[in-house]
Amino acid sequence: MSGRPEILFPLFGALDGLKGIGPKTAKHLAGLAVETPKDLLFVLPQSVIDRRLRSSIRDATPPEVVTVEVEVGVHIPPRQHGRPYRVLVHDAAQEFTLVFFHARSDYLQKILPTGQRRVVSGRIEVFDSVFQMPHPDHILRLGDLAELPPFEPVYPLVAGVTQKLMHRAIASACGRAPELAEWIDPLLRQRQGWPGWTAALAQVHAPQSAADVLPTCPARERLAYDELLAHQLTLALARSNRRRATGTATRGDGRLVRRVLSTLPYVPTKAQTRAIAEITSDMAAAHKMIRLLQGDVGSGKTLVAMAALLTAVEAGGQGAMMAPTEILVRQHVDGLAPLAATAGVRIDSLTGRDKGRERARKLAALAGGTLDILIGTHAIFQQDVGFHDLRLAVIDEQHRFGVAQRMALGAKGENVDTLVMTATPIPRSLALSQYGDMDVSLLDEKPPGRKPVTTSLASTERLPEVVAHLRHAIANSRQAYWVCPLVEESETVSLTAAQARYDRLTAELGPGLVGLVHGQMPSAEKDAAMAKFVSGETRVLVATTVIEVGVNVPNATIMVIERAESFGLAQLHQLRGRVGRGAAASTCLLMYEPPLGETAARRLKLMRDTDDGFRISEEDLAMRGAGDVIGTAQSGLPRFRMADIERQGGLMEIAQRDARKLLADDPKLESERGRAARILLWLMEQDKALRLMQTG
């Protein structure tokens, strides 16, 4: 696979070879991430303007774009400087005025000669009860009407780039698109009614109706599928590459897992039993495991992870678990230590806090093999941390860690198996785009005995009532979280809000009963505040969203979320999952600032009506979009140009199945369709996938 195939050369040349693009425009186009003719082809129209010819503007509902044939009447130049130039025109049934500002009269006389017929197209408005069309977009002779598309595509723009320029440049780029062999499975293409690649490009850039810019339009669907297929082929190649890499078969005998499960006060759910079986079977195989364990808040992921870690120990190896914060590490140790004791297994933690002799002791135990399970923050990646025989790495809350960190942990042992856990229910399409190289185990049941959390809505006007209710709950030895609004613009405003709420609650409830944690605190202070809350010394914890992930205080039964309308659904669901962890009934109060917008009201009502994290995440995706659901900054989500994950998510699943099947049938992509798929990978600049094939 030496280099880009020659047939694609015209699409990867310089932009300034295209019609209407000079070096300066090429620079502007970089703002749309357009650097080659291929990039231009993949800028799809956002909408269309209906330019079909009408007999008169009389049927129009201003302001509306209308195209009519007119007879040009008199010209009325401005009397004063700065006033507009007007031209009276008459269509089949209505007189109206064309209005021009800063126009040269000789130019207007030339393009609109009195007494002649012209076609004008532009936005009709009503000003002082008179119809007018300011600055028509198009003025054409009758013979040139064919130049005006009946539906004109509207493209996204950046400074220095006009619609006219985009139209010219894209038409020129379309002229370079070669006929390529078909990489889509013929049966799938037939079933979906998709056009060929070049036909699809021609159709999306020359829409014939408003429906042609919808995500359901067959040509758009086909181009989206091409992009998703290339992405899933890359992930499938990475996966098959890893599977070819010889792993260590980690076969436990099940004695430690059985011992732990038999002492539990409850029976694991079917979903937990299924996930444990999938993981142990993967670990026993000769290839490296990389599996995603996806489960909603409270679905019992920790028990499944412990079973996997114990399987590694049964096979004579070690297990490691990584969590994003020291608080979570401590919590995992507290939760797992009793299970480890039951199994007679040695467990310890390692964080940035461990210094000097204590750290040296732990590292020696780890390297000597007398420590079986290590739980830590990213400190377990550091160079001097060596394992005796690491078999399994469990990563908690994966979207906080990048793929690079995933690999760094894997490099700590010979062919380490990896289990990634996420408590954020991710919509299926996003899970596939982010974790498509993994196999997925899903925990879709709640363990018995977990009480549902009652969710209610209240406007901020009822704040005094809420505080009174809180006072009563504290008197009855209950604990509460109070989450402060999310202030997008600035961290400092968020802090001010949290500090002010802390001061007010302290004044209302009494000194020493209220704690405060926020993202800007030094770790030690944050941990101390959390520890006081966990021990019950403080009764109310005022917090920004730092408590969103994983914190476990069974006695906390009340969650107040202030200005809940400023949070995303997934975040609200995560926060609500902090309560309802003990035996007592729990409540979550979503406080909002009236009046609520339509979308915000829909979000909060959905929270009140369901606690199904997967349903909530799908709704969140539909309402807010992919970047917001996972948090663009740390999402690791690929950026798709043509595929719209919110509206075309179903295609992702088809693409994953198709990509895996194609590679299973034709691992080296040497068949006719395989060779076409290689062209697709080059076209979508997935060169790394092709490199994986070479190394594999």
User: What average pLDDT does range 611-617 have in this prediction?
Assistant: 75
* pLDDT-based confidence at residue 551 (cuts at 50, 70, 90): low
Residue 172 lies in a domain: yes
Query: At a CB cut-off of 8 Å and minimum separation 6, what does 198 contact?
Result: 177, 178, 179, 180
pLDDT of residue 54: 93
pLDDT of residue 467 exceeding 80: yes
Q: Are 134 and 122 in contact (CB under 8 A)?
A: yes
Give the model confidence (pLDDT) of 326-366 as tens digits: 878 888 898 899 999 999 999 999 988 888 899 999 999 99
Domain that residue 560 falls in: 453-610
Residues 466 and 582 in one domain: yes
pLDDT above 70 (res 59): yes
Mean pLDDT, rounded, for 101-106: 86
Residue in this structure with the two tokens 């937990």, named with its chain if needed: 272
Cα distance between residue 368 and residue 371, in whole Å: 8
* Same domain? 457 vs 583: yes
pLDDT band at 40; cut points 50, 70, 90 = very high
Determine the 3-state secondary structure of 474 from DSSP: helix
Q: What is the mean pLDDT of residues 292-301?
A: 81
471 and 369 in a common domain: no
Give the integer Cα–Cα distance in Å for 292 and 437: 10
Instruction: Find, among 110, 63, 105, the residue nearest to 86 by Cα.
Output: 105
User: How far is 48 from 212, CA to CA, in rounded Å?
Assistant: 9
Q: Are residues 499 and 542 in the same domain?
A: yes
C-alpha 508: how far from chain center: 41
Same structural domain for residues 459 and 336?
Answer: no
Which residues does residue 375 pair with via DSSP β-bridges, in sequence order?
321, 349
* Lookup: tokens for 201: 């490009």
* Residue 662 domain-assigned (yes or no): no
E-state strands within 328-446? 347-350, 373-376, 390-396, 417-422, 439-443
Instruction: Work out the average pLDDT over 411-421.
Output: 76
Residues 593 and 504 in one domain: yes
443 pLDDT band, cuts 50/70/90, is confident
Q: Tell me the average pLDDT of the chain.
A: 85
Cβ-based burial of 507 (10 A; exposed 0-12, middle 13-18, buried ≥19): exposed
Whether residue 203 sits in one domain with residue 112: no
How far apart (Å, rounded) are the C-alpha atoms in residues 547 and 524? 15
Q: How far is CA 289 from CA 244, 306, 665, in A?
A: 11, 16, 22
CA distance 180 to 41: 15
Considering the domain architecture, whether residues 185 and 274 belong to the same structural domain is answered as no
468 to 372, 474, 540, 619, 676: CA distances (angstroms): 50, 10, 13, 34, 69
333 alpha-carbon distance from chain centroid: 31
476 belongs to a structural domain: yes
pLDDT number for residue 317: 95
DSSP string, 284-333: HSSBPPEEEEEE-TTS-HHHHHHHHHHHHHHTT-EEEEE-SSHHHHHHHH
DSSP 640: P
Residue 434 falls inside a structural domain:
yes
Looking at per-residue pLDDT, the higher value among 691 and 256 belongs to 256
Last residue of a domain, one of 148, 173, 196: 148
Burial of 689 (0-12, 13-18, 19+ CB in 10 A): buried
Look at the chain and report how many structural domains it folds into: 4
CA distance 169 to 20: 6
Over range 199-206, report the average pLDDT.
95
Three-state DSSP string of 140-194: ECHHHHHHCCCEEEECCCCCCCCHHHHHHHHHHHHCCCCCCCCCCCHHHHHHHCC
Going by their DSSP bridges, the two strands 138-140 and 117-127 should be labelled as antiparallel
DSSP 3-state assignment of 440?
A: strand
| Domain-terminating residue out of 610, 642, 668 | 610
pLDDT of residue 688: 67
Shared domain check, 190 and 102: no
Same domain for 272 and 417: yes
Give the number of other CB atoms < 10 A from CB of residue 565: 21
* CATH number of the domain bearing residue 117: 2.40.50.140
In the chain, % of residues over pLDDT 90: 48
> Which of the two residues, 559 and 570, has the higher pLDDT score?
559
Looking at the domain assignment, is residue 249 inside a domain? no
How many percent of the chain have pLDDT more than 70?
Answer: 87
Whether 506 is covered by a domain: the verdict is yes
Residue closest to 387 by CA, chosen among 308, 462, 294, 313: 313
What confidence score (pLDDT) does residue 444 get? 79
Distance CA 215, CA 154 (A): 15
Q: How far apart are CA 152 and CA 53, in angstroms?
A: 13
pLDDT, tens only, 115-140: 999 999 999 999 888 899 999 999 99
Whole-structure pTM value: 0.67
- Identify the pLDDT of residue 400: 53
Evaluate if residue 264 carries a pLDDT over 90: no
- Of 110-119, 152-161, 406-415, 626-635, give the range with the top mean pLDDT: 110-119
pLDDT at 271 over 80: yes
State yes or no: pLDDT of 563 exceeds 50. Answer: yes
More confident residue, 491 or 663: 663
| Range scoring the smallest mean pLDDT among 105-109, 315-319, 419-423 | 419-423
pLDDT at 499: 86
Out of 29-33, 115-119, 310-314, pick the least confident. Answer: 29-33
Question: Which range (5-14, 180-189, 319-328) has the least confidence?
Answer: 319-328
**By mean pLDDT, which of 324-328, 497-501, 579-583, 690-694 is the weakest?**
690-694
CATH number, position 372: 3.40.50.300
The better pLDDT of the pair 695, 466 is held by: 466
Please say whether the beta carbons of 392 and 311 come within 8 A: yes
pLDDT of residue 636: 44
Q: How far is CA 594 from CA 456, 469, 565, 612, 664, in A?
A: 15, 21, 10, 26, 56
- 92 with 174, same domain: the answer is no
What is the pLDDT at residue 627? 45
- The answer to whether 492 and 577 have CB atoms below 8 angstroms apart is no
Q: What is the mean pLDDT of residues 471-483?
A: 92
Q: E-assigned strands of 566-617?
A: 586-592
Whether residues 262 and 398 share a domain: the answer is yes
* Structural domain includes residue 222: no
In a domain, 240, yes or no: no
Task: List Cβ neighbours of 124 (8 Å cut-off, separation of 6 or more).
Answer: 57, 60, 62, 63, 64, 65, 66, 96, 131, 132, 133
Last residue in a domain, options 410, 443, 476: 443
User: HEC profile for 73-119?
Assistant: EEEECCCCCCCCEEEEEECCCCEEEEEECCCCHHHHHHHCCCCCEEE
Q: Which of 39, 38, 40 is nearest to 7 (CA)?
A: 38
